[in-house]
């Protein structure tokens, strides 16, 4: 192996270290305008009146958009349900809902013009929480179900249903026989609460759009340019071939940058003004645009006295916020993943998306798996304690084996789960050493399928006359290192230095199609497409060389831009020049990969790969204050084969820190429908000083992945086990269980006090 | 036919009419510098001393380039022979040769800094004409032959040869038996002179370059981005995969915009300054950068008394100017095409590229064919008159038939030559009406092979979920209408409105490889690649649809983004959404075309297509002043199949006007090595008032072309016959022959007077 596992710096290292890497925020076009939006101060109100005439006449203002400017458009968008308007039409549904937009010469002028827009609201009753939204007399966010529900993947999936007016989607999945519950010795019912984070991507939502002579062109900080193009084509009734989306480097997304955010307003303002428009949100506006899903998870779990998992019924309620966005898909993932990587006789899962008058929730690292792992791995520990079985032993007894299907018809596990569990136990010192008062260790296993749903991917690999190689793939470099991974896979196959391989631009007019950079799909889906493209390209080169050397392609192998035959190297460049003439040529290979649709599989398609995150935490809990200090944190993902070890470790470390924030303090705090900690300064993210004294991310390379050279997707898994591991460690330390995130001192103290009270009762 | 021949406006019409079309001259980047170059005032001199230190310290100057800054580079470039330095190294070789360059904040500052560069020249003797350059004691432009000669295509081709020090290339081609001359009743030897034009493209040579973190990126007004990338990779010792060339719309090229012009200096200044650099020449600088080849052509032609062509020996001397550029290839084309579309028993052609201390000559519309057609078609008329045979009858007797090979081993004629000849005769009224004093009619047939040498082309056609189609091809829209032609071919194949098809960007990182937009190759070479790509894409779509409809692909046809089976249309979009999921897909087809290398063919490869331009002119000649008025001009090309009739006519009209300028007045006038009419205002191009009273371009559609739907390349042919037709008309009008271009009143008058003197002698 030459390129795989090579510790040389990432392919984007120079660009990023020198500041030359270009992000959408960095771009400018001549005559560019700046957009700003007017946002609703009401969480739920009818919009009685909007008048932007005065704003339109303000200095520097080139275009204004209100609901009166949506004629001829399909003015609502959404992943599945088309419920989110470009700007408010009849109602506003959360504080921050966009009501009007202005494009002006400067941001200052745009902001000033917003102040001149007259809006009269007629406030309506609000629902700020899942409970309020489900209450019998709750006001409905949508009186009439909006159009566009796409029947998603689970059997029993359904959209808006009366009387549950605020449930925009229900996912159900059952397998096995409900009678299994009767075979359980004990059935435990527990409820868990999951609080929502903001994605906190450092590059805000930003789009630069230009509309000229029937061509829409945009540069956007976006995870899925092709689906974005498709949605914009629908919204603007504009042919797809006349919409061109460029995606420069993306300053992180964590799921937030899928589909329409700043794009429809930027495009509409560009169309109306005839000038390029830049719409860049502030960090505060990010908080009003997208969040993770808060959740309530109820688990009814039947086990035998000796610790065999038998049956589980689960009910998950996701807080979808004011618009549906990707909630149906998040619901499917949470509902499908809730049972963890264990063997069950019967499972029955339901997951509802509940709309509330809060920031719309969307895809977020872990994609439903974070919520599911939090609840499931917490309850498994609780069950272990109730049965008097060691939590690790209990897990091992029920863990699926390598190759064993999650449920019948599903793909087999492509990681050895026990191996990873042993590793983190070893790393954290599980079961070793003496117990210290107030100190405990917790373990958890995060679990999700990865690779996305039914995702097709295309890739192209081209080789120039002198052996320069360019990978063309629609996968976005979003910080995860995928340019490095894919170019090294190609370098390995071409047996050339990785510096000979570059990564092409993302431009929907020319770049091969991809569904999106999400679901840890890049290496297992696009990676396979790229590998096939590289092999196709190499085959074409060897065919050509064989025709020039009068031999069979099988007699040749490629090495350092020469073909080797009987240990003699024949350089390719002169051979190409001879045949193709003085101006040379490019050999091009194409690759395609799509998980086969399979109607026998539980969700119509087998999962591409399983992404597992093993975690272990050691905590000190101050029983007087409830303060938790995470002393040691170990996370481990299985990269299958680590194409670039540092990048893999970086992914696991970043995910673990995000999980740490989620576990201990990071949350969007709502006071009714009012987001109390909207400003970046008031929203607590992990600081360097929050780093545990001992913090390790260990990248396993078990080698069973479906990606190139056995690689598997990663980057989400490190986040999945952290909160449960810490909660489990707290219980291990002080015997108190906190079932609600974040694990704040108040909650920990309350749990300790409740435990004391209970002990005193006895 | 739905899209082919449809008179709807060109695909780029809206963009160009509204001014939205973006050319390289329109582009700007943040922090962009402006480049200017210091040019030699000497035609030939040793550069004794260059010092730019004072210039480098001037206000606003960010970088300076002299020969001292070429370290580590392969500092000379060229199509074949690498003889042209980025800036002068040891010598300057023509007035305008680039000696140093400056990048500054403004063009003014750059110009001011140039004035501060100290250069000491040691003047050398100059050669300003072909005759001077070939004289025994002529000074040599290159004492040592520069490197990089690529043995070109003709047998006997050779590079720099002693003692002919200033002959940088010789092309030779012979076929048949020299004894054939003995079978001729008469042998005529005539000499013709061809004067050179400047290309006069309205968008000047211009490049915008950026060099960052090892990536070279440039936007250039360029006809062949892939060969340009290759040459820059060689010059800068930079990997091809880290050089990215974009080509926006090009404001014409006429051949001039092949290979390095502004690019090396722009890239080098960008590299040295670390900032983007724009190098845009003035119209005057264009005159110092590239020109057509002036030529002397000597023809020795043997015919029988009844007008059968028997044998021809030709010697062509091309004035290559100071650097070789594409001269070897122009020499091949001139030498190979000199005998016209006629049957010969023996031909023996030689063409030398002679270097002079003048502006380097390069590719120019007609590519050697203009020089050849001028001489050959003039002589044929002269021979007709000498033999007392009607010039049209004489041509018809010797014209190759449809399908007949030019020479053994060559491709057959793919136009019926007599049909085109009859057409222009009919249009001009040949042989009809009464003769008017001083009025005459002339006919000529321009002739060239088209499609380029050995050109490989790749194309891609992609179709989105909703049936938007994007054509990806490296062919440049240079005004000729190729975006329209290629998108309509695809629309026709897809049986959809042509508005559903768009043309992708030119970006060497992603666009499929093409050798260059030249040689009228786009429709016959790239057109075939695009057609194949479209058919490949359609086949993939039908395969997919058949799999969904449980039938055979052969049961289906594509129409308006539905598949039709048994007269029932099944829309594709929902079928794609069902199979590929909510985010859709793109079907991609690839196409490749390359004329097969054939070592039995005269030049190692058969020509792809023959491009014929039939012309006829009626002139009034004022016998007192020599003034020629072209009353009627008819040109006709054969488009094979006209994809867009207006665009074809526009090509023939534009070419005819260029031919008219060449015939009558357009010439770079040298006073020794000094270009006397360098400024645009002093260089005479055709004006609207020069338009003949009757001017017609008739596009034939004979249907025999190798391109899609029988199409053939065009755009050059209309220029080829014009000068000879007018010279022939002048002789018809006043019995005087002018064998030297342009056909100025002075020369015409001199010829009339010579004729009178001769008549008086008798």
Q: pLDDT for B58-69, tens place per residue?
A: 999 999 999 999
Structure tokens at B141: 């432009």
pLDDT, tens digit, 9 for 90 and up, residues B511-532? 999 999 999 999 999 999 999 9
| One domain, residues A473 and A439 | no
pLDDT, tens digit, 9 for 90 and up, residues A736-751? 999 999 999 999 999 9
Is A15 part of any domain?
Answer: no
For residue A155, pLDDT over 50 is answered with no
Identify which of B212, B499, B582 has the shortest CB distance to residue A150.
Answer: B582
One DSSP character per residue, B474-515 reads: ----SSS-HHHHHHHHHHHHHTS-GGGEEE--EETTTSPPBS
Q: How far apart are the first and last CA of chain A?
A: 64
Residue of A nearest to B501 (CA): A241
For residue A581, pLDDT over 70 is answered with yes
Say what the pLDDT of residue A157 is: 56
* Yes or no, beta carbons of A510 and B513 under 8 Å apart: no
**pTM, full prediction:** 0.96
How many interchain CB pairs under 8 A, A with B?
A: 169
- pLDDT class of B266 with cuts at 50, 70, 90: very high
| One domain, residues A441 and A460 | no
Is A169 part of any domain?
Answer: no
Is A161 part of any domain?
Answer: no
| One domain, residues A462 and A553 | yes
* Yes or no, beta carbons of B241 and A581 under 8 Å apart: no
User: In chain B, which residues have their Cβ closer than 8 Å to the Cβ of A239?
Assistant: 466, 468, 499-500, 502
pLDDT, tens digit, 9 for 90 and up, residues B383-405? 999 999 999 999 999 999 999 99
Identify which of B456, B472, B582 has the shortest CB distance to residue A585.
Answer: B456
Residue A629, C-beta contacts closer than 8 angstroms, at least 6 positions apart: A619, A620, A621, A622
Burial B506-539 (b: 16+ CB within 10 A, else e): bbbbbbbbbbbbbbbbbbbbbbbbbbbbbebbbe
Using DSSP, state whether B193 is helix, strand or coil: strand
* Yes or no, beta carbons of B458 and A499 under 8 Å apart: no
Mean pLDDT of chain A: 95
Residue A681: how many other CB atoms lie within 10 Å? 9
Say what the pLDDT of residue B605 is: 78
* Shortest Cα–Cα distance, B724 to chain A (Å): 33
pLDDT, tens digit, 9 for 90 and up, residues A626-654? 999 999 999 999 999 999 999 999 999 99
| One domain, residues A461 and A445 | no
User: In chain B, which residues have their Cβ closer than 8 Å to the Cβ of A237?
Assistant: none
Among residues A593, A614, A649, the one where a domain terminates is A593
For residue A152, pLDDT over 50 is answered with no
Lowest average pLDDT, out of A185-199, A568-582, B244-258, B607-621, goes to A568-582
pLDDT, tens digit, 9 for 90 and up, residues A715-739? 999 999 999 999 999 999 999 999 9
pLDDT, tens digit, 9 for 90 and up, residues B67-112? 999 999 999 999 989 999 999 999 999 999 999 999 999 999 999 9
For residue A603, pLDDT over 80 is answered with no
Say what the pLDDT of residue B144 is: 85
User: In chain A, which residues have their Cβ closer than 8 Å to the Cβ of B244?
Assistant: 505
Say what the pLDDT of residue A158 is: 63
One DSSP character per residue, B536-558 reads: HHHHHHHHHHHHHHTS-GGG-EE
Structure tokens at B277: 């650099």
Sign of CA dihedral A9, A15, A19, A23: negative
| One domain, residues A400 and A523 | no
Identify which of B462, B501, B505 has the shortest CB distance to residue A507.
Answer: B505
Is B6 part of any domain?
Answer: no
User: In chain A, which residues have their Cβ closer than 8 Å to the Cβ of B502?
Assistant: 239, 241-242, 509
Residue B28: how many other CB atoms lie within 10 Å? 12
* Yes or no, beta carbons of A227 and B581 under 8 Å apart: no
Question: What percentage of chain B exceeds 70 in pLDDT?
Answer: 97
Say what the pLDDT of residue A154 is: 46
* Shortest Cα–Cα distance, B378 to chain A (Å): 34
User: In chain A, which residues have their Cβ closer than 8 Å to the Cβ of B233?
Assistant: 466, 468
Beta-strand runs (E) in A557-604: 557-559, 562-565, 568-571, 586-593
One DSSP character per residue, A500-556 reads: GEEE--EETTTSPPBS-S-TT-IIIIIHHHHHHHHHHHHHHHHHHHHHHHTS-GGG-
For residue B670, pLDDT over 80 is answered with yes
* Yes or no, beta carbons of B458 and A588 under 8 Å apart: yes
In this structure, what CATH number is given to the domain that contains residue A274? Answer: 3.90.1170.50
* Yes or no, beta carbons of A230 and B586 under 8 Å apart: no
Q: Of the candidates A501, A344, A607, which has an alpha carbon nearest to the alpha carbon of residue A6?
A: A501
C-alpha angle B684-B688-B689 in degrees, rounded to nearest 5:
85
Say what the pLDDT of residue B433 is: 84
For residue A443, pLDDT over 80 is answered with yes
* Shortest Cα–Cα distance, B44 to chain A (Å): 30
| One domain, residues B490 and B574 | yes
Mean pLDDT computed over B21-46: 97
User: In chain B, which residues have their Cβ closer than 8 Å to the Cβ of A515?
Assistant: 581, 583
Identify which of B456, B504, B505 has the shortest CB distance to residue A580.
Answer: B456
* Yes or no, beta carbons of B464 and A28 under 8 Å apart: no
Residue identified by tokens 């136009």 is B415
Is A7 part of any domain?
Answer: no
Mean pLDDT computed over B267-283: 97
Say what the pLDDT of residue A714 is: 93
Is B601 part of any domain?
Answer: no
Say what the pLDDT of residue A762 is: 77
Say what the pLDDT of residue A163 is: 55
Contact B587, B463 (CB under 8 A): yes
* Shortest Cα–Cα distance, A488 to chain B (Å): 14
| One domain, residues B188 and B232 | no
| One domain, residues A413 and A523 | no
pLDDT, tens digit, 9 for 90 and up, residues B406-433? 998 899 999 999 999 999 999 999 999 8
Contact A35, A279 (CB under 8 A): yes
In this structure, what CATH number is given to the domain that contains residue A496? Answer: 3.30.365.10
State the residue range of the domain holding A657.
295-452+600-761
| One domain, residues A460 and A438 | no
| One domain, residues A448 and A459 | no
ipTM over 0.90: yes
CA distance linking residue B226 with residue B76, whole number of Å: 18
Among residues A593, A611, A626, the one where a domain terminates is A593
Identify which of B14, B579, B590 has the shortest CB distance to residue A597.
Answer: B579
Identify which of A224, A500, A505 has the shortest CB distance to residue B241.
Answer: A500
- pLDDT class of A582 with cuts at 50, 70, 90: confident
Residue of B nearest to A472 (CA): B510
Best probe of the B interface among A509, A544, A590, by most B CBs < 10 A, is A509
CA distance linking residue A476 with residue A522, whole number of Å: 9
Best probe of the B interface among A241, A504, A541, by most B CBs < 10 A, is A241
User: In chain A, which residues have their Cβ closer than 8 Å to the Cβ of B581?
Assistant: 453-456, 515
Residue of A nearest to B224 (CA): A583
Best probe of the A interface among B241, B455, B460, by most A CBs < 10 A, is B241
pLDDT, tens digit, 9 for 90 and up, residues A228-251? 999 999 999 999 999 999 999 999
Identify which of B241, B470, B510 has the shortest CB distance to residue A469.
Answer: B241
| One domain, residues B31 and B100 | yes
CA distance linking residue A120 with residue A297, whole number of Å: 39
User: In chain B, which residues have their Cβ closer than 8 Å to the Cβ of A509?
Assistant: 470, 472, 502, 504-505
Mean pLDDT of chain B: 95
* Shortest Cα–Cα distance, B582 to chain A (Å): 8
CA distance linking residue A487 with residue A533, whole number of Å: 12
Mean pLDDT computed over B322-333: 94
User: In chain A, which residues have their Cβ closer than 8 Å to the Cβ of B472?
Assistant: 509-510
CA distance linking residue A484 with residue A34, whole number of Å: 34
User: In chain A, which residues have their Cβ closer than 8 Å to the Cβ of B455?
Assistant: 581
Identify which of B241, B470, B579 has the shortest CB distance to residue A501.
Answer: B241
User: In chain B, which residues have their Cβ closer than 8 Å to the Cβ of A465?
Assistant: 230, 240
One DSSP character per residue, B717-741 reads: GGGTTHHHHHHHHHHHHHS----BS
For residue A149, pLDDT over 80 is answered with no
Residue identified by tokens 């820059």 is B232
Is A322 part of any domain?
Answer: yes
CA distances from A344 to A347, A369, A435 (A): 7, 18, 34
Say what the pLDDT of residue B161 is: 64
Residue of B nearest to A238 (CA): B468
- pLDDT class of A42 with cuts at 50, 70, 90: very high
Say what the pLDDT of residue B153 is: 44
* Yes or no, beta carbons of A513 and B585 under 8 Å apart: yes
Say what the pLDDT of residue B269 is: 98
Residue B365: how many other CB atoms lie within 10 Å? 26
* Yes or no, beta carbons of B588 and A590 under 8 Å apart: yes
* Yes or no, beta carbons of A239 and B14 under 8 Å apart: no
Residue of B nearest to A506 (CA): B510
Say what the pLDDT of residue B157 is: 55
Mean pLDDT computed over B288-314: 98
User: In chain B, which residues have their Cβ closer than 8 Å to the Cβ of A215?
Assistant: 15, 20
Among residues A219, A254, A287, the one where a domain terminates is A287
Residue of A nearest to B453 (CA): A581
| One domain, residues B681 and B637 | yes
Residue B669: how many other CB atoms lie within 10 Å? 15
| Number of domains making up chain A | 3
Residue of A nearest to B516 (CA): A583
CA distance linking residue B265 with residue B39, whole number of Å: 13
* Shortest Cα–Cα distance, B401 to chain A (Å): 31
CA distance linking residue A669 with residue A176, whole number of Å: 40
Is B620 part of any domain?
Answer: yes
């Amino acid at each position: 192996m030459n390129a795989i596992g090579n510790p040389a710096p990432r392919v984007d290292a120079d660009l990023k270290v020198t500041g030359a890497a270009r992000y959408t925020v960095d771009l400018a076009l001549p005559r560019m305008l700046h957009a700003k939006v007017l946002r609703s101060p009401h969480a739920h109100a009818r919009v009685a009146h909007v008048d932007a005439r005065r704003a339109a006449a303000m200095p520097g203002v080139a275009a204004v958009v209100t609901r009166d400017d949506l004629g001829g458009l399909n003015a609502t968008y959404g992943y599945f349900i088309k419920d989110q308007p470009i700007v408010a039409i009849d109602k506003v549904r959360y504080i921050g809902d966009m009501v009007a937009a202005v494009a002006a010469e400067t941001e200052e002028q745009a902001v000033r013009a917003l102040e001149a827009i007259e809006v009269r609201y007629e406030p309506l009753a609000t629902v700020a929480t899942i409970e309020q939204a489900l209450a019998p007399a709750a006001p409905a966010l949508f009186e009439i179900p909006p159009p566009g529900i796409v029947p998603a993947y689970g059997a029993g999936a359904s959209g808006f249903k009366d009387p549950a007016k605020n449930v925009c989607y229900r996912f159900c999945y059952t397998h096995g026989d409900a009678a299994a519950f009767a075979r359980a010795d004990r059935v435990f019912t527990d409820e868990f609460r999951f609080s929502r984070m903001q994605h906190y991507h450092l590059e805000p939502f930003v789009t630069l759009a230009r509309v000229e002579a029937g061509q829409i062109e945009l540069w956007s900080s976006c995870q899925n340019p092709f689906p974005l193009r498709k949605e914009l084509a629908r919204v603007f009734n504009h042919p797809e071939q006349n919409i061109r989306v460029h995606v420069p480097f993306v300053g992180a997304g964590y799921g937030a940058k899928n589909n329409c955010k700043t794009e429809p307003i930027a495009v509409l303002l560009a169309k109306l003004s005839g000038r390029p428009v830049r719409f860049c949100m502030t960090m505060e506006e990010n908080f009003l645009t997208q969040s993770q899903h808060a959740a309530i998870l109820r688990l009814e779990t039947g086990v035998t006295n000796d610790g065999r998992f038998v049956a589980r019924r689960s009910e998950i309620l996701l807080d979808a916020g004011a618009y549906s966005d990707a909630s149906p898909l998040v619901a499917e993932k949470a509902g499908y993943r809730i049972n963890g990587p264990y063997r069950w006789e019967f499972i029955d899962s339901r997951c509802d998306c509940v709309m509330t008058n809060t920031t719309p929730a969307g895809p977020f690292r872990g994609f439903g798996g974070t919520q599911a792992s939090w609840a499931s791995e917490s309850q498994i520990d609780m069950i272990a304690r109730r049965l008097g079985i060691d939590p690790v032993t209990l897990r091992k007894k029920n863990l699926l084996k390598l190759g064993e299907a999650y449920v019948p018809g599903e793909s087999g596990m492509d990681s050895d789960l026990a191996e990873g569990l042993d590793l983190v136990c070893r790393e954290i010192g599980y079961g070793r050493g003496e117990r210290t008062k107030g100190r405990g260790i917790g373990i958890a296993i995060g679990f999700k399928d990865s690779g996305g749903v039914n995702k097709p991917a295309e890739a192209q690999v081209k080789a120039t006359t002198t052996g320069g190689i360019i990978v063309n793939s629609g996968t976005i470099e979003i910080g995860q290192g995928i340019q490095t991974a894919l170019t090294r896979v190609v370098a390995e196959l071409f047996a050339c230095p990785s510096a000979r391989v570059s990564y092409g631009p993302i431009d929907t007019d020319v770049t091969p199609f991809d569904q999106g950079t999400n679901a840890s799909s890049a290496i297992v889906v696009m990676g396979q497409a790229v590998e096939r493209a590289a092999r196709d390209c190499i085959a074409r080169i060897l065919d050509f060389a064989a025709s020039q050397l009068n031999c069979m392609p099988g007699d040749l192998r490629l090495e350092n831009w020469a073909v080797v035959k009987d240990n003699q190297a024949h350089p390719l460049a002169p051979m190409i020049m001879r045949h193709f003439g003085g101006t040379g040529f490019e050999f091009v290979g194409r690759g395609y990969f799509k998980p086969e649709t399979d109607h026998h599989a539980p969700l119509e398609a087998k999962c591409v790969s399983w992404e597992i995150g093993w975690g272990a935490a050691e905590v000190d809990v101050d029983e007087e204050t409830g303060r938790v200090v995470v002393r040691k944190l170990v996370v481990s993902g299985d990269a299958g084969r680590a194409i670039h070890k540092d990048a893999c470790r970086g992914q696991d470390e970043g995910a673990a820190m995000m999980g740490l924030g989620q576990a201990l303090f990071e949350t969007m705090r709502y006071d009714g429908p009012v987001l109390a900690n909207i400003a970046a300064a008031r929203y607590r993210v992990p600081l360097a000083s929050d780093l545990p004294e001992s913090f390790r991310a260990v990248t396993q390379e078990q080698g069973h992945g479906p990606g190139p050279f056995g690689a598997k997707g990663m980057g989400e898994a490190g986040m999945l086990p952290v909160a449960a591991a810490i909660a489990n460690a707290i219980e291990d330390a002080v015997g108190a269980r906190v079932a609600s995130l974040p694990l704040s001192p108040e909650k920990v103290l309350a749990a300790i006090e409740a435990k004391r009270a209970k002990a005193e009762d006895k």
